Structure 1
């Protein structure tokens, strides 16, 4: 009977480890949502008495960042001081907010330029039609 429970525990541990190992970030989900998923996987490991060093957990989160974050990943890897998981999460969220703000600013600039070009075109068109009449 004890062997049955031990086998179930080992099976559950393998399942939790597999989920943790296979977890990936993606472009189509919010960073905060994905960090919550990662944090849940870490908690699942703890529940199964699978204890990993915090440096390893934080390092794996850095490695799992999406490809468009490669420069940021390199920055984090070359820091002199190892960040705790909590500090790393704060850094990632701040970076995500900054990236969104930059993207929004660029979109506004493009829209403004398009409006200027369109206004100039309409102004020229109006001049042309006014001369004809």
Structure 2
């Protein structure tokens, strides 16, 4: 029989007959090393479990925080719309990192609703369009509209 390196075969014999044949593990030969190994394993497991519990809770908390951050975000007239759009895109990238998926049409609609009060007419006309717009296309539309508004104020 092939034995693993940490197993040893021990035979106890009485006269010519073998009474007991047993394999004794490393634990029986070196009990102190065995206890050290078990202790280290238990400490590592306890440490891993505490880290897992801490970061799993933080992960759930950060998901809730991200969702609140996105839904509570309001665009203001005092800052450029494209700049604020990029901030929202950054929040949405965090969604992806946390494997939080949302339909793109819902995201586009939510961003249109977040446009500042001075964009009220643009918001209304954009909502009534029949075709769906991607997030990239929305960014292009907002950039063009903002450039138009800046140029029309300068003239």
| TM-score, normalising length: structure 2 | 0.64
- Aligned twin of 1:74: 124
What's the counterpart of residue 34 of structure 1?
84
Distance 1:74 1:39 in 2: 22
Pick the structure with more strand per residue: 2
Alpha-carbon distance, 1:9 to partner:
1.3
- Greater than 6 Å deviation, 4+ residue runs: none
Q: Does 1:96 align with 2:143?
A: no
Give 1:49's aligned residue.
99
Deviations 1:39-67 (A, max 9, x none): 10110111111100100111111000011
Query: Which 5+ residue runs of structure 2 have no aligned equivalent?
Result: 1-48
Counterpart in 2 of 1:22? 72
Q: CA deviation at 1:97?
A: 0.7
State the alpha-carbon separation in 2 of the partners of residues 104 and 5 from structure 1.
51
Kindly tell me the number of residue pairs found equivalent between the two proteins: 105
User: Are the aligned partners of 2:81 and 2:115 in contact in 1 as well (CA < 8 Å)?
Assistant: no
State whether structure 2 residue 145 is matched by structure 1 residue 86: no
Task: Please show how residues 2-21 of structure 1 align to structure 2 within 5 Å.
Answer: 2-21=52-71
SS in 2 for 1:24: coil
Tell me which of the two structures has the higher relative contact order, counting C-alpha pairs closer than 8 angstroms and 6 or more residues apart: 1
Alignment of 1:111-130 (within 5 A): none
Specify the structure having the higher radius of gyration (Cα): 2
Q: Give the whole-Å Cα distance in 2 for the aligned partners of 1:31 and 1:73.
A: 13
- Which runs of no fewer than 5 residues in structure 1 stay unpaired? 106-133
Q: Give the alignment's TM-score, normalised by structure 1.
A: 0.74
1:19-40 deviation per Cα after TM superposition (whole angstroms, max 9, x unaligned): 1111111111112211110110
